[in-house]
Structures are given as structure tokens and as C-alpha cells.
Amino acid sequence: MADYGIKISKEGTDVKEAITDANAKNFQLISSVGCLVKKEESTSDSETYMWWGAVLDGTTARSANFYPQVWGSLVQKFIIFANRFDE
């Protein structure tokens, strides 16, 4: 692992600690590992980028777990992350 970068630890954790699977959760930010980063909002999901979606039915936003035909013409909204599935 490179000896440069940015690490921000949680309170109570020495930021100089070497990062391991066991202690990574004790850091707010580690520049040497990827983080989920919002890229854009969209009306369609993606095969390339990770995403989260919802169906807007006027009063609620429901998880976009169902085939679009089930929801007819209701608006589907997706948050597309900058993280790719194939990385």
C-alpha cells in the first residue's frame, strides 16, 4: 500500500494505525480504498455504474424493485454512483 494519501479516523482511533480489514471501519475516510460516490441523478438505471432507485407515486417513493411495467407510467428516479460494477 502506498505511504501517501488521506486518512481521517473516528474519534478514539489513532489515524496513524495501519489500515486492516479489522480496523477500516474505525476510519471516516481512507483514500486508498474506494468509497461510494454519487455521480448523478437519472430516470433510468445503469448496467455499468452502481445505483439506487425509487418509484415516485405522488405521495411516496418506493424502492425500485419491480419491473417497470408493474408501475406503468410512474416516474422512476435513480441515483447513479461513480463506482463501476466491473472495478
Partner 1 sequence: MSNIGLKISKPGVDVKTATDNNLIFSSQYPALKIQSQGTGTQAFDEAGGFLTLETHALGYRPFFIVWAKFPDFFSNLFILPARIPIVDANIQCYATASSTTLTLAVDVLPDFPEDPYEVDFDIEYKYVIFFDPIE
| Residue ranges that bind partner 1, judged by CB under 8 A | 8, 10-11, 21-22, 24-25, 27-30, 33-36, 45, 47, 50-53, 63-68, 70, 83, 85-87
CA dist list (Å): 60 to 36, 57, 72:
25, 6, 16
- 3-state SS, residue 47: coil
| Distance of closest approach, residue 8 Cβ to partner 1, in angstroms | 5
Are residues 80 and 46 in contact, defined by beta-carbon separation less than 8 angstroms? yes
Round to the nearest angstrom and report the end-to-end CA distance of the chain.
18
| Distance of closest approach, residue 59 Cβ to partner 1, in angstroms | 22
Q: Which is nearer to partner 1, 10 or 74 (CB)?
A: 10
| Distance of closest approach, residue 57 Cβ to partner 1, in angstroms | 17
